[in-house]
Amino acid sequence: MRALVIMDPIEAVNVDKDTTFGFMLAAQARGHTLYYCHPRQLYTLGGQAYAMAAPIQVWHRPEAFYQLGEAAPHALCDFHSVWMRKDPPVDRAFLHATWLLDRANTQVLNAPSGLRAANEKLYMLQFEAHIPETRVTQDAAAILRWLDARGAPLIVKPLDGHGGFGIFKLTPGDPNNPSILEVLTQGGQWVMAQAYLEAAREGDKRIILLDGVPLGAILRVPQAGENRGNIHVGGRVVQTTLSAAERAICAAVAPKLKADGLIFVGLDVIGERLTEINVTSPTGIREILALDGVDIADAYIRWIESQI
Ligand SMILES: Nc1ncnc2c1ncn2[C@@H]1O[C@H](COP(=O)(O)OP(=O)(O)O)[C@@H](O)[C@H]1O
Ligand SMILES: [Mg+2]
């Protein structure tokens, strides 16, 4: 098969940790041909999506880990599979790329319509039975009243954050609270306020789903002096398993993910409560391979082979 990988600049990947790079290694190991481009290399001619894409070879080694051929125009329909793996933020350019990808006329993972449907923070609201007590509002005073009434901490987060950015813990009575909310809601931004889950100290579980099936998980434990478990801000990765309640969460979200074409997804679960559904460029498979020997990249490639 010929697959096109749309991603952030290849020269910046971490060859040991990057999930997209893991997919590329697995595809190559199974004899497939890879092409590479950045989203800005997408364009249309008539009603068809094209990319200025270069053939690429990859190696799992620290230096000289990729080699690019010459970039040339390719109709996306000439690829068997196109992987949209651009990292967040989901900004205007990201959304525009999804509309171009609507014109691909081939398999696109995750589905561009699904990427538009699923804001990573808001998509979970449809699984209310499984989420922490949550409110989304621009009304800072309402959040402060809720915090007071609860008498227990809240977490607040921007709707387009990622990697732990903009996440604050509000503790009742902290004089910083009004100012934090002022910054988060500035210029008409919504903020997600959520019951602070004490289990976050034990870790934030990342569960990887392929076509709705949980294939592996890791626990990300915040470092000392930090509320956030994100690997990006120093969270320590620990081996873990799935509880019955966590399997129930997976089963609850799977049909909706499938219907939206969200094939490769990372759920974030804290204390058996669903807190985020990552669909743009979820990571974690390299750590799962290292800790559990479960090769999700290989499963991803085999799943694609089964579909084309
Ligand atoms: N409800 C919560 N209670 C306690 N900690 C939370 C809660 N929600 C998020 N966090 C902390 O913030 C981190 C990032 O949260 P998340 O919602 O997954 O946003 P991001 O997109 O930045 O990963 C988590 O790893 C966790 O440590
Ligand atoms: Mg997260």
The last residue of a domain, from among 158, 181, 196: 196
- Whether 50 and 96 share a structural domain: yes
The domain tally of the chain equals 3
In a domain, residue 79? The reply is yes
- Whether 220 and 258 share a structural domain: yes
DSSP single-letter state for residue 216: E
116 belongs to the catalytic site:
no
- pLDDT score at 229: 96
- Whether 6 and 111 share a structural domain: yes
- pLDDT score at 230: 95
Q: Which SS3 state, helix, strand or coil, does residue 93 take?
A: helix
Report the pocket of ligand 1 as residue ranges, CB < 6 Å.
132, 155, 157, 161-165, 167, 194, 196-197, 200, 204, 222, 227-230, 268, 270, 275-276
The domain that holds 58 is classified in CATH as 3.40.50.20
The sign of the dihedral angle between the CA atoms of 109, 163, 25, 70 is: positive
The domain that holds 156 is classified in CATH as 3.30.1490.20
DSSP track, 217-248: EEEEEPPTT-S---GGGTPEEEE----HHHHH
- pLDDT score at 18: 98
In a domain, residue 226? The reply is yes
Can the peptide bond before residue 282 be classed as cis, meaning omega within 30 degrees of 0?
A: no
Ligand with minimal distance to 166 CA = 1
Neighbours of ion ligand 2 (CB under 5 A): 268, 276
Ligand with minimal distance to 90 CA = 1
Pairing, β 134-137 against β 81-84: unpaired
What is the whole-number distance in angstroms between the Cα of residue 60 and the centre of ligand 2? 26
Tokens of 109: 């993972």
Q: How far apart are CA 156 and CA 158, in angstroms?
A: 7
What is the whole-number distance in angstroms between the Cα of residue 87 and the centre of ligand 2? 13
Q: How far apart are CA 278 and CA 264, in angstroms?
A: 9
Which residue lies with its CA nearest to atom 26 of ligand 1? 228
The domain that holds 255 is classified in CATH as 3.30.470.20
- Whether 66 and 109 share a structural domain: yes
What predicted TM-score, i.e. pTM, was given to this entire model?
A: 0.97
228 belongs to the catalytic site:
yes
Residue where the block lists tokens 């008539």:
46
Q: What range does the domain containing 161 cover?
A: 133-196
Q: Which atom of ligand 1 is least distant from the CA of 166?
A: 22
The last residue of a domain, from among 196, 219, 248: 196
Tens of pLDDT along the chain (308 residues) come to 999 999 999 999 999 999 999 999 999 999 999 999 999 999 999 999 999 999 999 999 999 999 999 999 999 999 999 999 999 999 999 999 999 999 999 999 999 999 999 999 999 999 999 999 999 999 999 999 999 999 999 999 999 999 999 999 999 999 999 999 999 999 999 999 999 999 999 999 999 999 999 999 999 999 999 999 999 899 999 999 999 999 999 999 999 999 999 999 999 999 999 999 999 999 999 999 999 999 999 999 999 999 99
Instruction: Check if the beta carbon of residue 154 is closer than 8 Å to that of residue 142.
Output: no
- pLDDT score at 139: 98
